[in-house]
Amino acid sequence: VISTTESVTFQDILDSLDTDIAILKIDVEGLECQVLHDYLISDQTTYIPYIVIEWMVIYLDENHNCPHFEEFVDAFYNADYEPYDVYGRGPLTKERVLKFWNNVLWVHKFAR
């Protein structure tokens, strides 16, 4: 028996939602750069005020899934997101985000 798997994009998932606002917790083992890149650099049709990411896997990039890590970080800033420590210790500077960190909460500037 031959089995086939259909892949979907992040945009496919957003398009299937019945809302234009979503909150995202993403953990795709280092593929976050690839999954979120197009969303961050495009005109978004779905507003995501909060994005939580397991950051250390992206930072360590052991599988070479995020070779342009600093550009990925810049894409968040360019899309008007600011990084926060998920454990409530406040905002993170860009310098801290570019160094080893566990989990990051990206908050859009219009989030309430």
Q: Residue 19's pLDDT is what?
A: 93
Closest CA to 103 of 40, 50, 49, 66: 50
DSSP letter for each residue of 71-101: HHHHHHHHTTEEEEETTSS-B--HHHHTS--
Q: Residue 14's pLDDT is what?
A: 92
Going through the chain in order, the beta strands assigned E by DSSP cover 21-26, 47-54, 81-85, 103-108
Q: Give pTM, 2 decimals.
A: 0.88
Q: For residue range 25-38, list pLDDT tens digits in order.
A: 999 988 999 999 88
Cβ atoms of 86 and 50 within 8 Å: the answer is no
CA-angle at 52, arms to 44 and 32, nearest 5°: 70
